[in-house]
Structure 1
Amino acid sequence: MNDPIPHHTQGQTTFAPCGSTAAPLFTVNPDIPLVDALAHSSNLQLVANQLMTDAAMGDDGPHLAWAAAYLGEMAQAILSDLTIPVACNSAV
């Protein structure tokens, strides 16, 4: 039986849609170890949360909020890529 939990990133998740076609600008790289990818995602989310707190409390709200949104999108892409079942990837 195949282990459905990937131990590395799959490298299939895209993010940062841009332009009139909303084509993705970035893709999560494949074969990043699970622990490293989760740590990086956690760090991105921590900084995004800190920026959102600063945005809520200060005068630079829009600038900080946009930075936090991009960091959150990166963190989400990493987690999404890690949740792609290995069985689906090997069936292709």
Structure 2
Amino acid sequence: MNVSPLIKTVGGATFGACNAENQRLFSVIAGVSGEEALQHASLLLNCVNRLSYLGAMDDGHETMRWASHYLSEMAKAIIDDVTLGLQDVP
């Protein structure tokens, strides 16, 4: 993957909704290279893929489904943040 070194995370994406106000507990940190961030998102999505498959095969594994849900939310936040960084590239 050859992402431009100018593309960085901007720190605008959040995840981990909690409480009645739906506040976000976590956020992507600004300044990480886009390439490294996307590699991390790919690793998270690989885990999501495996967990969701295993969870679909066995009704007794709700924890796998919840884990895949939270990991996919993290990966989405990373991808959203890199996308915001793409908008900042001249």
**What range describes the TM-score normalised by the shorter chain of this pair?**
0.7 to 0.9
Give the Cα separation in 2 of the matches to 1:59 and 1:20. Answer: 29
Q: Which residue matches 1:43?
A: 43
Matched, 1:64 2:74: no
Structure 1 regions of 5+ residues with no counterpart?
Answer: 1-5, 88-92
C-alpha displacement of 1:76? 0.2
Q: CA deviation at 1:37?
A: 0.2
Equivalent-residue separation in structure 1 for 2:60 and 2:38 (angstroms): 29
Alpha-carbon RMSD: 1.3
Partner of 2:78: 78
Structure 2 CA distance, aligned partners of 1:69 and 1:77? 13
Work out the CA distance in 1 between the residues paired with 2:60 and 2:75. 23
Please state if 1:16 is matched with 2:16. yes
Q: Secondary structure at the match of 2:47?
A: helix
Give the 4+ runs in structure 1 shifted more than 3 A: none
**Larger gyration radius, structure 1 or structure 2:** 1
